[in-house]
A and B are shown apart, each in its own frame.
Chain A
Amino acid sequence: MKKGLSFYWKLFSATFSLSAFTFGGGYIIIPLMRKKFVEQYHWIEEEEMMDLTAIAQSSPGAMAVNASILVGYRLAGIPGTLVTVLGTILPPLIILSIISIGYTAFRDSVAVSLVLRGMQAGVAAVIVDVVITMAKTICKGKRWIPIGIMIGAFFCACVLKINVVWIILVCGAFGALEVLWRGKKKKEETP
Chain B
Amino acid sequence: MIYLELFWSFVQIGLFSIGGGYAALPIIQRQVVEVHPWLTMTEFADVLTISQMTPGPIAINSASFVGIRIAGIGGAIVATVGCVLPSLVIVLLLAFIYYRYRKLTVIQGILDGLRPAVVGLIASAGLSILILAFWNGNPVSFSLPDIDWIAVVLFAFCLFVLRKWKPNPIYVMAGAGILGLGAYYCLLI
In the bound complex, how far is the Cα of B175 from the Cα of A16, in angstroms? Answer: 19
Contacts of B132 in A (CB 8 A): 120
> Taking the nearest CB of chain B, how far is it from the CB of A46, in angstroms?
10
Across the interface, B170 reaches (CB within 8 A) one of A17, A103, A121, namely A17
Residues of A within 8 A of B (CB): 17-27, 30-32, 35, 39-40, 47, 50-51, 53-66, 69-70, 73-74, 78, 81, 85, 89, 91-93, 95-97, 99-100, 103-104, 106-107, 110-132, 134-135, 138, 146-147, 149-158, 163-165, 167-168, 171-180, 183
B interface residue count range (under 10 / 10 to 19 / 20 to 34 / 35 or more): 35 or more
Across the interface, B125 reaches (CB within 8 A) one of A27, A132, A172, namely: A27
Q: Which residues on B are within 8 Å of A, measured CB to CB?
A: 14-21, 23-24, 46, 49-50, 52-61, 64-65, 68-69, 73, 76-77, 80, 83-84, 86-88, 90-92, 94-96, 98-99, 102, 105-106, 108-130, 132-133, 136, 148, 150-152, 154-156, 158-159, 162-163, 166, 168-170, 172-181, 183-185, 188
A165 to B114, CA, bound (A): 11
A96–B102 Cα distance when bound, in Å, is 39
Q: Which of A25, A121, A178, A179 is close to B180, meaning CB atoms less than 8 Å apart? A: A121
Q: Which residue of A lies closest to B85 (CB)?
A: A61
Give 10 A-B contacts (CB < 8 Å), ordered by A residue: A22-B55, A92-B64, A95-B54, A122-B172, A124-B133, A124-B155, A150-B116, A171-B117, A172-B117, A177-B109
- Quick one: which of B61, B84, B125 contacts A96, CB cutoff 8 A? B61
Contacts of A50 in B (CB 8 A): 114-115, 118-119
